Amino acid sequence: MFKIPHISPARLPELLRRMPKAELHIHIEGSLEPELIFALAQRNGVSLPYPDVESLRRAYAFTNLQSFLDIYYAGASVLIQEQDFYDMAWAYLQRAAADHVVHAELFFDPQTHTARGIAMETVVRGLHRACTDARAQLGVDATLILCFLRHLSEEDAFATLEQALPLRDLFIGVGLDSSELGHPPEKFARVFARCRELGLHLVAHAGEEGPPAYIWSALDELKVQRIDHGVQALKDPALVQRLAQDRIPLTVCPFSNVKLCVFPDLASSNLAQLLDAGLAVTINSDDPAYFGGYLNDNFVQTFAATGLNAHHAYTLARNSFEASFVTEAQRHDWEHQLKAVFESFSEHDF
Ligand code: HPA
Ligand code: ZN
């Protein structure tokens, strides 16, 4: 075990920003800033129901997940050309690099685009090209996870998978997102079984607004490797035990939970309890352009509000690498970098 050096609380924000980390729960369409929405709308001749950036931003006052999704899908309507998808992902990856994100697994929602007549290939090739450039130019390792929209049918998910299969080498897994309540994971059991046969990694949103039963279903019916959100798990001690025993990672998104009224404020986040229960928790930004900040903002403000310390910081960063879909060698390399950064923050330096 790595002995965490003593680090003064005053230096904690700097350490949180500087430590290498992975981001595993980011919807790339949720990184579309209002300025880029307006720029793309103009480039593509799309008209928006808001006169300017400020009035669009003012509309970002959400009461629950659905109230966000309505505006999030409307924002994505400006994405038409392959270059638009590239520009969106590139903007996120530059911010990720600035936040010392060394690895990112980007969710994308192809059905939001194919339903508007955009080809699957346009979406995936644009996003993938940005990932390739990020590795070469920013030193950020980035991969793609295709999400099925759970408010649509399983048949639609199967058709989407079919369209994506010629591009199979350009994404590493599948996820499940959109409106949770009323759309339990088992609705997608057959398409997830097929994805498993194809060797794709499997994740699903569960227990964001939905009950612990949805987390059980994601584990037992979909056989997912990670749970996205999962914050409702604490309502079910047997589930917490299962998640701990199998070291199923939870990709928790503190800003998202506050903006979508899952918790009243950051201080009410149950992150510390999830960590205390021994769960493999990670911190993520979810939809940073809509929820008020990117990954380092989530770290710094959540730590300030909840009183988490340098030990928690190390655990969270380490968990992010443990939960990543990468090789053992890659994971060890990043863990080594993480230790080096913590050692460089040791009090002995002063
Ligand atoms: N939950 C479900 N679907 C989503 C989210 C989320 O937080 N963000 C983008 N799509
Ligand atoms: Zn999400």
pLDDT tens across 187-231, in order?
999 999 999 999 999 999 999 999 999 999 999 999 999 999 999
> How confident is the model over 150-164, as a mean pLDDT?
98
User: Which residue's CA lies nearest to atom 7 of ligand 1?
Assistant: 286
pLDDT at 350 over 60: no
pLDDT at 105: 99
| Residue of 208, 209, 221, 343 marked active site | 208
Q: What percent of the chain is modeled with pLDDT above 90?
A: 97
Angle at 206 between CA 200 and CA 210, to 5 degrees: 155
User: Which residue's CA lies nearest to atom 2 of ligand 1?
Assistant: 178
User: Which residue's CA lies nearest to atom 9 of ligand 1?
Assistant: 27
Which one of 26, 66, 177 would you pick to mutate in the ligand 1 pocket, going by the greatest count of ligand atoms within 8 A of its CB? 177
Q: Kindly state the tokens that stand for 252.
A: 């928790």
For the beta carbon of residue 153, count every other beta carbon within 10 angstroms.
14
Residues paired with 103 in a beta bridge: 22, 141
Which one of 23, 29, 32, 65 would you pick to mutate in the ligand 1 pocket, going by the greatest count of ligand atoms within 8 A of its CB? 65
Place of tokens 């950020």: 140
Closest ligand 1 atom, residue 180 Cα = 2
93, 85 Cβ separation under 8 angstroms: no
For the four alpha carbons of 227, 229, 231 and 236, in that order, the dihedral sign comes to: negative
318: Cβ contacts below 8 Å, ≥ 6 apart: 335, 338
CATH of domain 21-349: 3.20.20.140
pLDDT at 348 over 70: no
What single letter denotes the amino acid at residue 105?
E
CA torsion, ordered 219, 331, 196, 236, to nearest 10 deg: 0
pLDDT in tens, 88-120: 999 999 999 999 999 999 999 999 999 999 999
pLDDT at 157: 99
Q: Which protein residues are within 6 Å of ligand 1, measured from CB?
A: 27, 30, 65, 72, 177-178, 205, 208, 256, 286-287
Any catalytic annotation for residue 335? no
In whole angstroms, give the CA distance from residue 277 to residue 294.
Answer: 26
pLDDT in tens, 12-68: 999 999 999 999 999 999 999 999 999 999 999 999 999 999 999 999 999 999 999
Q: Is 240 helix (H, G, I), strand (E, B) or coil?
A: helix
